[in-house]
Structure 1
Amino acid sequence: MLLDFYLLDVSYEVVSQEPHIIIWGVSRDGKRVLLRDKRFRPYFYAILREKASAEAVARKIISLSERSSPLIKVEPVEKKFYGKPVNALKITTVIPEYVRKYREKVKEIPEVVEVVEADIRFSLRYILDHHLRPCGWHRAEVEARGRNPSYKVEEEYEVKGEINPLEDWSTPELRIMAFDIEVYNETGTPKPERDPVIIIGVLTSNGVFKQFLADGFNDKNAIIEFTRFVQTYDPDIIVGYNSNRFDWQYLLERASVLGLKLDVGRKKDSPPSTSTYGHVSIAGRLNVDLYDFAEEIPEVKIKSLDVVADYLGVMKRESRVLIDYVDFPKYWNDPSKRGLLLKYNEDDVRSTMGLADKFLPFAMQLSYITRLPLDQVGAASVGYRLEWFLMHEALLNNELIPNREEKEAETYKGAVVLTPLKGIHENIAVLDFTSMYPNIMIKYNVGPDTIEKPDGCSIASHYIAPEVGHCFRREPPGFFKNVLSMLLSLRKLLRSEMKKYPPTSMEYRLLDERQKAVKILANATYGYMGWLGARWYCRECAEAVTAWGRTIITAVINRAREMGLKVIYGDTDSLFVENDPVKVRSLVEYVERELGFEIKIDKVYERVFFTEAKKRYAGLLTDGRIDIVGFEAVRGDWTELAKEVQENITSILLKEKNVDKAVEYVKTVIANLMQNKIPVEKLIIWKTLTKKIEEYDVESPHVSAARKLEKKGLKIDVGDKVGFVIVKGAGKISERAEPFNLAKDPRLIDVNYYIEHQVVPAALRILEYFGITENDLRKITSTAGRKSLFDYLGKH
C-alpha cells in the first residue's frame, strides 16, 4: 500500500543485532504514525591511491570483519572527490556504532589515501540517501503492522519500497506544547539533588493552560502529573526557552533524584537525552529551544525571555509580572504572594508560545531546505545548517563528502571600507549589491574543487583573482557554482510565487519564510569557505572572493565619481551616494551592463551624519526611523542607558536639527540619574567571560562580579555573559561591581560612575562633532537662542 505522511523526525534502534530506521510522522488523516525500515545499513568510503588494486584492498578490508558487526559488502564505486574522479571502495557493515571502529582500521591500510563519510550519523545518513525533507510530505510503499505497545503511535508500518518527497506545501494540524519550570533555591544556583521544581507551566496550541505545583517542597507528584499530561496531550512539537540548557537538564536530574522516569517521548522507557548540537532529543517529538533563534537577533543585547518577547511584540514587559529567581523563595513561602509567582510562570509560558508563533514557521522552512530535523536546525550553527544542505547536493553530484578536520587559523585581506565624508548629508541613497559574494562565486566559478595551482594557469581557461592571483577553472561549473546558482534561482522563483498570493494568506507567509531560509544559506556560503570547522574549507577561495569584491566596488566608486555623483561612503557591498535619480539610475545600469552584477537602492536617508571613522554613522530614514551604526548604541559592553541616550540625541539632531535641545536632553538624563529615577535594569553592563575565572590575572569588574555569583552558588562558565552594576563605596571599580540581581535598589548605584563613564562619553561620541565639550554638558545654559544643526557644521 502507499502511505502519505508528513515527516517529523528520523531515529534508529538496533533490534536483535539489526539496525532499524524509525520514521516518525503524521498521516493525511491526522494519525501519528511510525514507519520502520529494516533494509538500510551503515557504510563509509575509502579513497585509494591512484594505481592501487581495488580488489586487493577490498580483500584486506574484508579480513578486518568482526562477528559482532560483520563487513557485509566492500565494493568499488565511481565517485568524485573535490570534482576529480577517484578510485574508491564503499564499505558496508551492520551496526552503526562499528563504522568509526572500522574507519580507524581501514586508515592503516597503506593503499588507502583517506577514509570519508564515516562521521555521518546513521539516521541523518538515511535522510540524505533517501532525499527526505523534515517538515515535508512524503509517499512510501509500506505494509501495515498494527499497533505496537512500545510506541505511542496510532499505527506502525514497515517500509517495503521507495520513499519519495512530494511537492505539497501544506502542513497538518500539529500539536504544539510550550512549557517552563520554576525552581526553589535560596543560595543562587539551584541544585537538582536538593532544590525542588515548584511550578511546571504548560500551554497547548489549542489553548489549554495548566500548572503542576509542588506540595510545599515535595515536587514528586508535580513531575509525575507533568509527564502524564505530556503523554495525554501527545504533542508533536515541544517548545521552551533555554530549555535545552536548563529546563530539560534539571527535570531529568531531579526525576532521577526522586526515583522517577521522565517518560515524555513516544517510545516507552526512553527518556530525553542530549544529542549532537547540544539539543535535547525526545523520541517521536520535536523539542525546539526558541532561545537558539533569539540568539540570532543582534539588535537584542539581553536575551532574557521577557526582553525578547517585548522586542518581538509578543508581550510587553510593563504588562507582565517580573520576579527575579533569587526572590522565588519569599513568593513561594508567602501564601499572599504565591499568586504573583504563578502569574510570572504563566506569563513566561504564554511568552514562549508567542515566540513559537514567530520563530517556528521560519525554523520549519529551514529544516525543510537543509534536511536537518526541526529539533536540530535551531541548535546547529549557520555553518552546520549550510553544510547539511551542501552534503545532500554533494550526494546528488556523486561527490564524496570531505571530513571535518582541525586546522590552523589563517587571515586574509577583507573588503573595501571607504573613509566617510565627515558631516551632515541630506538625501542620500544607499546602493546595495544583490548577493555580491555568492554572485562572485558563481561568475568566477570559485570553489575548493575548481582552484588550481598557478603554474598551470592561463587567462583562456581560468579566472585569476586580482591582487591574490588564485586561479579557478572556467569549465566545467564547480560544486559551489552549481549549488549557489540553484539557491539564487530558487529564491527568485519563490519571490515570484509570492506575488500570486495576498500578503495575509498562508501561502504567502510560507513562501516568504522559505525564501528567507534560502537567502540565509546562499549568503552564508562565502563565510563558510573561510570557517575553520567547514568540511569544504578553502581559505584561498574566501580570499579570492574578497579580492574580486574589492575590485568591483572600487570600479563602481570610480565610475560614480566620473559621472559627478558624490560618493559619501562605501562598505563591502554597499555605497552611499547623493540621491540624484538620473545619475543613480545610470550607475545602476553600468553595474548591471558592464560588470554583470545586480545593484539596487536599498534605502534612502533624508539626513545622515558621519564621523571620520569607518562603520560609524547615524541616519534618518524616509519613513521616520533612526538608523544607528557603530556607536555604543549597538555595542554589547555599554548600558541600555547609553544606547537610549545616543538614540535620543540622534533623533533630536536629525529630526529637529537642534543641538542645544540635544544638550538639554543629556542634562535631564544626568539629573534623573542623580535623583535615582533611572531603573537599575538600564544601568547593567554586560561582559562575556572569555576564559575560566581563575585564569584571569587582572581583576576586571565582570570577573569580580562573576566571583561574587560563584560565592552565591551559581556556576559560571567560559562564554557566559555577566551582568553587573557599579555601586557606591570605597575601593576600585572592580571591587564595587555587583551582580545586577543582587543590587536592585537605585539608591545603591554610584551615579557619578555612570555620569562619567556611560552618559557623558556616550553623548560626546556624537555631540563632540558639533563642537560640544564635556563642560557644555555640565554647565546650566539658557535655552534661548538655540542654534540649529547647520550652524555647527554647515550644510553639505
Structure 2
Amino acid sequence: MGFILTRRVVRRANQELVELWLATDTGPVCLYSTPQQNVCFVHTADAQKACQLLLQQRLSVDLLPDTYRTLNQQPVSLLRYSPDGLTQSVRQLLSAQGIVLYEGDIKLADRFLMERFAYGSIRYKGHPQQGNILHNVTLRGASYRPLLRSLSIDIECDERENLYSIGFSAPDLKHVLLVYPTPVVTPANSDFIVEVVPNEKTLLQRLVDIVVNYDADVLLGWNVKQFDFAVLYRCARRHHMQLAMGRNGSVLTVRQWESGTIADLPGRALVDGIEALKTMTYQFDSFSLDAVAGTLLNRGKLVKEDDQLAAIKALYKHDPLQLARYNIEDCELVNEIAAHTRFIDFLVLRSTLTGLDMSRPGGSVAAFINVYLPRLHRQGYISGIRPQDGGLASPGGYVMASRPGLYDFVLVLDFKSLYPSIIRTFKIDPMGLAEGLANPTTAIEGYKGARFSRDAHFLPEIIANLWKQRDEAKRQQDAPRSQAIKILMNSFYGVLGSGGCPFYDPRLASSITLRGHDIMQTTAQWIEAAGYDVIYGDTDSTFVHLSQVHSREEACQIGKQLEQQINQRWQQRLNKDFNLDCFLEIEFETCFDKFFMPTIRNSELGSKKRYAGLIDSQAQPPKIVFKGLENVRSDWTSLAKTFQQELYTRVFTGKAVERYILDTVAAIYAGQFDELLIYKKRLTKPLAQYTKSVPPHVKAAQQAELFNQTNGLPLQYRNKSAVKYVVTLAGPQTSDRQKAPLDYEHYIEKQIRPIAQSILPVIGLSFDELTAQQMGLF
C-alpha cells in the first residue's frame, strides 16, 4: 500500500500512461498504468458530428454506444480520445457547432483514480522494473496513513532575483547555502552549517544535490510556490539549467499567469504553509510568516516585515552569518507552524477523503466531483455542465432582524452542521433530484419545484459516512481528521450552489438554504411559545434572552432543556409530516452572562452578524467574544481594538467608563498612542489600476512609490501588498514615510467615537457630551 504524492500523465511510445509517485513503508515507489484514454460525452444526436470534428483535430477517437444519460434524462454517447486534454480551441470548435460537451475538462490522471475510488491511499500490483518502478499496475483505494519525510526550504535574494542564500531545515538537517566571495566561519556552537559557494550557478547545483540526497516526500515553505520555487525556476533558466530535484531525475516545472502559479516536482509534494492554513480555515490579520508565527508560536522572524528587503541586503553585505541565521530561522518557523497546526496531517487526510493532491489548495468543486461522479456513472448518469453565465444566485442563510440592546443571560442554540444535516434528512442530491422529478408521486418536496427521490441518491449516505468518521475522529482526539471532514461536509452546499460546479442547480442549493430558513423560523416560534425571547438568529444559531433568570446556573439548565425539547419536536414533526428520519440536532452551545447587540450605525435598527458578549462573569480575566465588530476587523487600528476590548469589559462588568474614555482621548492628543494608530490594508490590484476611486491606503502607497522612484529606491508595493499607513494633517502617508504630524482629530472621530457611541447610550451616556469640554482644550 502507499500514499499518492504526485500524479501526472506521461507519453511513452505514442501512448499515454498515468504516473503516480507513492510514499510507502519501504520508501518511494513509482507506478505506471497501462495505456489510457480519456473520455467525454455528447448528446447522442451530435455524436457522429463531434467524432468527425475531433478527428479533424488529429485526435484519436472511438465512439461507444449510448449507455449513459444526463441528469435531464437526455441520452448521450461516450467519446474515448487521446492524447489527453481537449484544448480551448477544440472546445470552442465544438461549441461553435452547437455541440454540448460533458466532462471534457476532467484530467485523465484524476479520472483514472476516481473511477477506481482511489483517494490518496491505494493498494496496487504491477510488474517490477528498475528497482522502485512498477509498470502495468492495477490499483484500488485502501486505508493507509503514511509517515512522510519533509524538508523546509527558504530563499533570500534581492529585488532583481539575484540569489543570496538557500536555507534547508528538517529534524536531522540544518544547512544554508550562501553565495559569497570570502569564507564565512560558522561558530563552534552553531546548530546549522553554512556552506559558501562561489556563484549562483553552483548554488543551484548544490540545491539539487541537497534535495536529492535528503530525498524528502514533502518540500514545504512559506509562499514557497508563488515565490521561492518560481524565483529558483527563473534563475535556473537564466543559467540554462533544469532543476532535476524530483525523484528519478525529474525536473521542477513552474507555470505562471496573472492570477497564480503552479509548481510541479514529480515524486515530491510541494506544500505551501499559507495555502495549507487557509484550506484549514485559519484566519489572521496578515498571513505573513512573522504575523502567523507571532500568533501561533508567540515568536517571529529575526528581521521584521517593514524593513525586510533593505535589512536583508545590509546583512548580506556586512554580516552574512546573520543573514544565514535569519534564513534558517525562517525555515524552522515553517516547520514549527506545521507541527503546531499539523497541517501536513490535515492535507494527507483531506487527500484520502477526496482524492485531491495534498499540494493543492482549495478544490471544493474538484473534491465533490472526485467523490460523487464515479457513483453517478455506475447508475448510468453523467454530470451536467458549468453554467456559462455563472448561474443564478441561490438564497443565502437565514438572518433574523435583531433586537438591539444590552442583555443579561443570553443563550446560543446552534444546529450541529445544519446544511449537511438538511441534505441527509431531506435526501437532497443531484441524482436524487433527477429521479425525483422523473417519479414525483412518492418523492420528497423541495423548493423551487424540486422533488427528491427517497431511495435513489448518494449524497445523504456520503454525509452519513463522513459524520460517523468525524465522531470517531473526535473520540480519538484526531483533530486534523475531524477538521478535514468538517470542511468537506460543509463544502457540499457551497459546491451545489456554485456556478463553477457541473452539478450546479438552483433547486439543489435553494432546497438546502430555504429549508434552513423554515427550520430556523419554526425553532424560534417554538422558543417564543415557551415564554422566552428570541432576539437574533443567524444561519444556524438562535440567540435567546432569558428575562426572568437571575443566575448562570439557572440559564444553563434552561439551555439544556430547550435543546432536548427542540430536538424531540423536530423528530416528531419530520416523522409525522414527511415520514422521514430526523438528523437535525440542535445544541446548547453558550450562555452569555452579558450580551450586547448594537444598532446599525446612525440608525435605530438592529445590526446583523455583529455582537459582543461576556461569557461567565466570574472568570478571570473576563472572556469577551466579538463578532463582526471593530475588535476583529483587520482594517482598524490596534488602539481601536484595545479601546473596544477595555470599554466593553468595563460596561459588561459594571465598572465606570467616564474616566477611561477621557484619559484615552487625552493620551491620543498627547501622542502617547502614536505607535497604535497605524492602519493596515491590502492592495487588491496594481497601484496604476486605481483610477476612479483612490482609497487612503492607495494614496499613501502611491506617495511612497513616488519617493522611491525619485530617490532610486526599489519599489515596495505590488498587487496583494499590505500597506501600513497613518492619517496625518497632510493626508494619508505610509508609516515608514511619515513626514507630517498625525491628525489626532481623525482618530478620535473615526476610531474612538464610533466604538464608544455604539454602546454608551445603553448605559445612559453620550461620547459627545463626555468629551465636549475636553475636546475644546485641543
Could you say which TM-score interval applies, normalised by the shorter chain? 0.7 to 0.9
- For residues 426-441 of structure 1, what are the structure 2 equivalents within 5 Å? 426-441=408-423
Alpha-carbon shift at residue 127 of structure 1 (Å): 1.6
Give the Cα–Cα distance (whole angstroms) in 2 for the partners of residues 388 and 305 of structure 1: 33
Give the Cα–Cα distance (whole angstroms) in 2 for the partners of residues 767 and 320 of structure 1: 43
- Partners of 1:42 and 1:99 within 8 A in 2: no
Give the Cα–Cα distance (whole angstroms) in 2 for the partners of residues 641 and 279 of structure 1: 40
**Which residue of 2 is the match for residue 90 of structure 1?**
78
**Which residue of 2 is the match for residue 127 of structure 1?**
113
> Could you give the per-residue CA deviations for residues 696-721 of structure 1, whole angstroms, max 9, x where no partner exists?
22332122234346544548666x25
Q: Which segment is superposed worse, 577-586 or 624-633? A: 577-586
Alpha-carbon shift at residue 11 of structure 1 (Å): 1.3
**Which residue of 2 is the match for residue 46 of structure 1?**
42
- Partners of 1:446 and 1:472 within 8 A in 2: no
- Partners of 1:294 and 1:308 within 8 A in 2: no
- For residues 85-484 of structure 1, what are the structure 2 equivalents within 5 Å? 86-97=74-85, 114-134=100-120, 136=121, 138-147=122-131, 155-160=132-137, 162-168=138-144, 170-172=145-147, 174-184=148-158, 190-192=159-161, 196-204=162-170, 206-215=171-180, 218-268=199-249, 270-274=251-255, 278-295=261-278, 297=281, 299-312=283-296, 314-317=297-300, 320-322=302-304, 324-328=307-311, 331-333=314-316, 335=318, 337-357=319-339, 358=341, 359-376=343-360, 378=361, 380-408=362-390, 410-449=392-431, 451=433, 461-465=442-446, 470-477=448-455, 479=457, 482-484=458-460
- Partners of 1:760 and 1:777 within 8 A in 2: no
Distance change (3 Å), C-alpha of 1:454 and 1:40: closer
Count of aligned residue pairs for this structure pair: 715
1:757 to 746, 750, 759: 750
Give the Cα–Cα distance (whole angstroms) in 1 for the partners of residues 316 and 365 of structure 2: 47
Residue 699 (str. 1) matches residue 680 (str. 2): no
- For residues 64-75 of structure 1, what are the structure 2 equivalents within 5 Å? 65=55, 69-71=59-61, 73-75=62-64
SS in 2 for 1:141: strand
Give the Cα–Cα distance (whole angstroms) in 2 for the partners of residues 780 and 334 of structure 1: 56
Give the Cα–Cα distance (whole angstroms) in 2 for the partners of residues 269 and 411 of structure 1: 45
- Partners of 2:8 and 2:20 within 8 A in 1: yes
> Could you give the per-residue CA deviations for residues 496-526 of structure 1, whole angstroms, max 9, x where no partner exists?
3653x4x4xxxxx2xx422322222221222
Give the Cα–Cα distance (whole angstroms) in 1 for the partners of residues 376 and 717 of structure 2: 41
Give the Cα–Cα distance (whole angstroms) in 2 for the partners of residues 572 and 60 of structure 1: 46
Give the Cα–Cα distance (whole angstroms) in 2 for the partners of residues 412 and 241 of structure 1: 36
SS in 2 for 1:471: coil
**Structure 1 letter corresponding to 2:270:** N
- Partners of 2:7 and 2:266 within 8 A in 1: no
Give the Cα–Cα distance (whole angstroms) in 1 for the partners of residues 542 and 254 of structure 2: 49
**Structure 2 letter corresponding to 1:420:** S
Distance change (3 Å), C-alpha of 1:636 and 1:430: same
Alpha-carbon shift at residue 179 of structure 1 (Å): 1.3
**Which residue of 2 is the match for residue 787 of structure 1?**
none
Alpha-carbon shift at residue 233 of structure 1 (Å): 0.7
> Could you give the per-residue CA deviations for residues 434-490 of structure 1, whole angstroms, max 9, x where no partner exists?
2222333333343455558999997x544445xxx52222425455xx214322333
Alpha-carbon shift at residue 60 of structure 1 (Å): 7.5
Once superposed, what is the RMSD of the aligned Cα atoms?
A: 3.4
Residue 28 (str. 1) matches residue 25 (str. 2): yes
**Which residue of 1 is the match for residue 10 of structure 2?**
13
Distance change (3 Å), C-alpha of 1:754 and 1:381: farther
Give the Cα–Cα distance (whole angstroms) in 2 for the partners of residues 392 and 680 of structure 1: 57
> Could you give the per-residue CA deviations for residues 663-709 of structure 1, whole angstroms, max 9, x where no partner exists?
44444544554455547476223144368633522332122234346
**Which residue of 1 is the match for residue 515 of structure 2?**
548
Give the Cα–Cα distance (whole angstroms) in 2 for the partners of residues 463 and 283 of structure 1: 48
**Structure 1 letter corresponding to 2:68:** K
- Partners of 2:429 and 2:460 within 8 A in 1: no
> Could you give the per-residue CA deviations for residues 20-67 of structure 1, whole angstroms, max 9, x where no partner exists?
2111013332x2111112322222222214xx8xxxx55982685369
**Structure 2 letter corresponding to 1:159:** N
**Which residue of 1 is the match for residue 528 of structure 2?**
561
SS in 2 for 1:374: coil
Distance change (3 Å), C-alpha of 1:129 and 1:385: closer
Give the Cα–Cα distance (whole angstroms) in 1 for the partners of residues 87 and 454 of structure 2: 34
Alpha-carbon shift at residue 391 of structure 1 (Å): 3.4
> Could you give the per-residue CA deviations for residues 383-417 of structure 1, whole angstroms, max 9, x where no partner exists?
44444433344345443123334215634543432
Share of identical aligned residues, percent?
A: 20
- Partners of 1:683 and 1:725 within 8 A in 2: yes
Distance change (3 Å), C-alpha of 1:60 and 1:415: closer
**Which residue of 2 is the match for residue 590 of structure 1?**
569
**Structure 1 letter corresponding to 2:82:** V
- Partners of 1:76 and 1:87 within 8 A in 2: no
- Partners of 1:74 and 1:91 within 8 A in 2: yes
Give the Cα–Cα distance (whole angstroms) in 2 for the partners of residues 265 and 279 of structure 1: 15
Distance change (3 Å), C-alpha of 1:725 and 1:772: farther
**Which residue of 2 is the match for residue 61 of structure 1?**
51
**Structure 2 letter corresponding to 1:609:** F
**Structure 2 letter corresponding to 1:191:** R
- Partners of 1:176 and 1:239 within 8 A in 2: yes
- For residues 496-575 of structure 1, what are the structure 2 equivalents within 5 Å? 496=472, 498-499=474-475, 501=476, 503=477, 509=478, 512-575=479-542
Give the Cα–Cα distance (whole angstroms) in 1 for the partners of residues 430 and 344 of structure 2: 34
SS in 2 for 1:262: coil
SS in 2 for 1:557: helix
Alpha-carbon shift at residue 371 of structure 1 (Å): 0.3
> Could you give the per-residue CA deviations for residues 228-247 of structure 1, whole angstroms, max 9, x where no partner exists?
21111111101111112211
- For residues 626-775 of structure 1, what are the structure 2 equivalents within 5 Å? 626-654=624-652, 656-660=653-657, 663-674=658-669, 676-678=671-673, 680=675, 683-689=678-684, 693-708=688-703, 710-711=705-706, 712=708, 713-714=714-715, 720=720, 722-730=722-730, 733=731, 736-738=732-734, 740-743=735-738, 749-775=742-768
**Which residue of 2 is the match for residue 603 of structure 1?**
590
SS in 1 for 2:60: coil
- Partners of 2:687 and 2:702 within 8 A in 1: no
SS in 2 for 1:643: helix
Distance change (3 Å), C-alpha of 1:104 and 1:129: farther
Q: Which segment is superposed worse, 339-348 or 570-579? A: 339-348
**Which residue of 2 is the match for residue 615 of structure 1?**
609
- Partners of 2:756 and 2:767 within 8 A in 1: no
Alpha-carbon shift at residue 640 of structure 1 (Å): 3.1
Alpha-carbon shift at residue 364 of structure 1 (Å): 1.4
Alpha-carbon shift at residue 308 of structure 1 (Å): 1.2
TM-score (norm 1): 0.81
Give the Cα–Cα distance (whole angstroms) in 2 for the partners of residues 523 and 158 of structure 1: 39
Give the Cα–Cα distance (whole angstroms) in 2 for the partners of residues 670 and 441 of structure 1: 53
Alpha-carbon shift at residue 258 of structure 1 (Å): 3.3
Structure 2 unaligned blocks of 5 or more: 182-197, 547-554, 575-581, 599-605, 709-713
- Partners of 1:491 and 1:515 within 8 A in 2: no
Give the Cα–Cα distance (whole angstroms) in 2 for the partners of residues 267 and 402 of structure 1: 40
SS in 2 for 1:89: strand
Give the Cα–Cα distance (whole angstroms) in 1 for the partners of residues 526 and 609 of structure 2: 23
Alpha-carbon shift at residue 107 of structure 1 (Å): 5.8
Give the Cα–Cα distance (whole angstroms) in 2 for the partners of residues 678 and 478 of structure 1: 64
